[in-house]
Structure 1
Amino acid sequence: MRNKLNNNKGLTLIEVLASIVLLSIVIISFMSLFPQMTLMNHKTEDNLQAANVGKELLVEIKKLTFESIKNGDSLPITNISIDINSNLTIIDGTYKSFKVKISLYANLDISGEIQKLHRIRIEVLDDKSTVLTSTYGYMEHN
C-alpha cells in the first residue's frame, strides 16, 4: 500500500483539466484579436480608397475651367447638387461609389502677376456622411 501512495508517475485528472482550462483561456484571448484586426483592415482600406478617390477627382477638376465647375458642367460626378453663395460654391455628388463634397472658393486665395488661384477642398464621405478624407488644392482662374 505504501508504494501506491508514493507513486508520482503521470498526471492526475485535476492537473489535466487545469492545463486544458489555462490553454483554452490563452487561445480564446488570441482569437478575440482576429475580428478586431479584420475591422481595422476594412477601415484602413476604405480610408485609402477614399484618399485615392479625392486625389483623382482633384486631378480631373483641375483640367476644367473655374466657370464650368461653378456651373456643374463637365464634372465627372453624378447626382450633382450645387449651392452657390457669393464666396463659396458647394457641389455634392457621387464619384466612384463615394459621396463627395467639393468646396470651390470664389475669392482669389493667391493673386499675383503670374497667376491667380482659387482654393478647392474635396471631402470624400462614407454612407453615413462621415468624412473619410479631405483633399485640398488650387486651380487657376481661367
Structure 2
Amino acid sequence: MGRKLDDQKGITLLEVLLSIVLLVIVLTSFAGFFTQSALFVKKNEDKISTTQTAQQIVNLIEVKLTRDILSTSTECPSLPCNLDEDKLSGLLGRSFGSSQKIFAEFSKGTEGLIAVEVSVQDTNNPESNSRTFTYIRR
C-alpha cells in the first residue's frame, strides 16, 4: 500500500544551491569582461575621433594652403610658427566647432618643403590625442 520514500532519487537542496553559486560566479566573471570591453570600445572611439579630425585638417591644409598664403598671413609671418584652433580657422577659412584642442606647427622641411604637424587632443579625455604630419609643396 505505501511506497518507501528512501528509494526515490532526486536533487537535494544542497546540490541546487551549489549549482546556483557556481552559475553566479561564472556569470560575474563574464560581466567583468563585458565591462572592460565597453571601456576599451569607448577609448578607441575617442582615439578614432581625434585621428579623423587631424586627418581632415591635414587634408584642408594640403588643399587650401600654399606657401604664398602662409607667408603673407599675419598668423604665421615666419617659420617656425605655431597656430592654435582660432588662428588656423582664420587661415583656412573654416571653423572647427568641436570638443577638441587643435594645434598646427609649421616649420622648414627638407628640399624647400614646409613641414606641418597637426595635433588634436580631446578635451573630455586628455589621454586621447593624435598627431599627423604633412608637407606643403606648392
Range of TM-score over shorter length: 0.7 to 0.9
SS in 2 for 1:27: helix
Q: Which runs of 5+ in 2 are unaligned?
A: 87-95
Q: How does 1:12-91 map to 2 (within 5 A)?
A: 12-62=12-62, 63-66=64-67, 68-69=69-70, 87-91=79-83
Q: Give the letter for the 2:52 counterpart.
A: N
- TM-score w.r.t. length of structure 2: 0.74
Of structures 1 and 2, the one with the larger relative CO (CA 8 A, separation 6+) is 2
Q: Give the letter for the 1:124 counterpart.
A: V
After superposition, the C-alpha distances for 1:59-100 in whole angstroms (9 at most, x for unaligned) are 111221235446767xxxxxxxx6x69642111227341211
Inter-partner Cα distance in structure 1 for 2:102 and 2:21: 52
After superposition, the C-alpha distances for 1:95-123 in whole angstroms (9 at most, x for unaligned) are 34121111111x2x222xxxx21111111
Is the 1:118–1:139 Cα contact (8 Å) retained in structure 2? Answer: yes
Match among 93, 98, 101 for residue 85 of structure 2: 93
Q: CA deviation at 1:17?
A: 0.4
SS in 1 for 2:25: helix
Q: Give the letter for the 1:121 counterpart.
A: E
- TM-score w.r.t. length of structure 1: 0.72
Is the 1:61–1:69 Cα contact (8 Å) retained in structure 2? Answer: no
Inter-partner Cα distance in structure 2 for 1:130 and 1:69: 31
Going from structure 1 to structure 2, the CA distance change for 1:34 and 1:125 (only over 3 Å counts) comes to same
Q: Which runs of 5+ in 1 are unaligned?
A: 74-81
Higher share of residues assigned helix: 2
Higher share of residues assigned strand: 1
Provide the alpha-carbon RMSD of the alignment. Answer: 2.7
Inter-partner Cα distance in structure 2 for 1:61 and 1:137: 9
Q: CA deviation at 1:52?
A: 1.3
Inter-partner Cα distance in structure 2 for 1:19 and 1:8: 21
Inter-partner Cα distance in structure 1 for 2:12 and 2:50: 59
Inter-partner Cα distance in structure 1 for 2:66 and 2:14: 80
* Identical-residue share of aligned pairs (%): 28
Q: Give the letter for the 1:21 counterpart.
A: V
